[in-house]
Chains A and B, each alone.
Chain A
Amino acid sequence: DAKTTQPTSMDCAEGRAANLPCNHSTISGNEYVYWYRQIHSQGPQYIIHGLKNNETNEMASLIITEDRKSSTLILPHATLRDTAVYYCIVRGPGAGTALIFGKGTTLSVSS
């Protein structure tokens, strides 16, 4: 079973920031938080990951709370092409720990 809880769906206006929350209250000290997204008819795409510090790349920012029990993925200026299902995944290190996907959050960006 997935170790994370995400809202089923969210809406965002084009050009505004999209803030996608994720709860992972049972996360262990060595587990990372990964975010992927899946645009319709495509395979999932890696976005970002982090352990305890906030992370930023060209796609998004990841904010992890100090107690690490929740995180927020931020798309700073959402576009219509960001409409997708967003998955928050907790994963430990090691070769045997494959990504386990939940149902994710369906983000709809509208003009």
Chain B
Amino acid sequence: EAGVAQSPRYKIIEKRQSVAFWCNPISGHATLYWYQQILGQGPKLLIQFQNNGVVDDSQLPKDRFSAERLKGVDSTLKIQPAKLEDSAVYLCASSFARSGVYTFGSGTRLTVV
């Protein structure tokens, strides 16, 4: 089966600019996650969707980050305006219903200069 698709693979922006990441989960996976991984650390959950509804966004910096999952399939994560500390890999994952077996995409590496 096709994996979780993410784009772009790399992005370099200046601070205060905006950026958007896209994720296409595995077909049929109702649950979608966005994680942020700073160099040397484990992935940190930003937001969890169940179909097109938000289950958990407690760790999402809502003053600058936003995410949506229209029609319960694709999802976009946006940062506006970006800060230097937002430099990280942004990982998207999906799972079937309540399963703890996730499939991750390869991530988007964001560098803010």
Contacts and interface: CB of A to CB of B under 8 A. Distances in A.
Interface stretch (A15-23, A59-67, A68-76, A92-100): A92-100
- In this complex, the interface size class of chain A, counting residues with CB under 8 Å from chain B, is 20 to 34
- In this complex, the interface size class of chain B, counting residues with CB under 8 Å from chain A, is 20 to 34
Given A95-B50, A96-B55, A98-B48, A44 B100 contact: no
27 contacts: A2-B42, A36-B102, A41-B106, A43-B4, A43-B91, A44-B43, A44-B91, A44-B104, A46-B101, A46-B102, A49-B100, A49-B101, A85-B42, A87-B42, A94-B98, A95-B31, A95-B55, A96-B56, A98-B45, A98-B55, A98-B56, A99-B45, A99-B102, A100-B45, A101-B42, A101-B43, A103-B41
Interface of B: 4, 31, 33, 35, 41-45, 48, 50, 55-56, 91, 93, 97-98, 100-107
7 shortest interchain CB distances as A-B pairs: A43-B104, A101-B42, A95-B98, A101-B43, A91-B100, A98-B48, A98-B45
